[in-house]
């Protein structure tokens, strides 16, 4: 029996991984399998034209929400002498007035 034949008759070497690495690998495999199923469903819908029909029936909103929420729009600004004032303008005005008051006290 030659050396080559004795090597061929041996079982292949296996690596015994640790518990942490096995669980990480299993979790990644599960995630990839779920993603593959999602992509498979998308491909089936695209091949039958179902995705176009679904987009016409229930379009995705501009903000990416799945459903529309009916809430009144709250205006972030208020009117002072006909000029719309928002939070940034008010803070800047107060900061300038405070700086002028400090300069007046120093002089």
pLDDT digits (tens, 9 = 90+) for 21-48: 778 888 888 999 999 999 998 898 888 8
Matching residue, tokens 């039958």:
48
Q: How many CA atoms lie within 13 A of 32 on its CB side?
A: 6
Domain around 89: 77-107
Q: Do 87 and 53 have their domain in common?
A: no
Say if 104 falls within a structural domain: yes
CA distance 3 to 33: 43
The first and second tokens of residue 10, run together, are: 């041996």
Q: Do 56 and 23 have their domain in common?
A: yes
Number of domains in the chain: 2
Q: Do 56 and 24 have their domain in common?
A: yes
CA distance 68 to 50: 22
**pLDDT at 17 exceeding the cut of 90:** no
Say if 2 falls within a structural domain: no
pLDDT digits (tens, 9 = 90+) for 78-106: 677 777 777 788 889 899 999 999 999 88
Say if 71 falls within a structural domain: no
H helices then E strands: how many in the chain?
4, 2
Model pLDDT, residue 56: 77
């Amino acid at each position: 029996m030659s050396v080559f034949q004795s090597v061929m008759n041996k079982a292949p070497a296996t690596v015994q991984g640790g518990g942490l690495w096995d669980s990480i690998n299993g979790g990644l495999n599960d995630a990839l399998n779920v993603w593959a199923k999602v992509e498979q469903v998308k491909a089936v819908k695209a091949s039958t034209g179902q995705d176009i029909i679904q987009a016409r029936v229930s379009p995705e909103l501009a903000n990416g929400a799945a459903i529309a929420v009916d809430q009144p729009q709250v205006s972030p600004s208020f009117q002072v002498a006909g000029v719309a004032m928002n939070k940034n303008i008010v803070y800047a005005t107060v900061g300038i007035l405070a700086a002028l008051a400090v300069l007046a006290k120093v002089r």
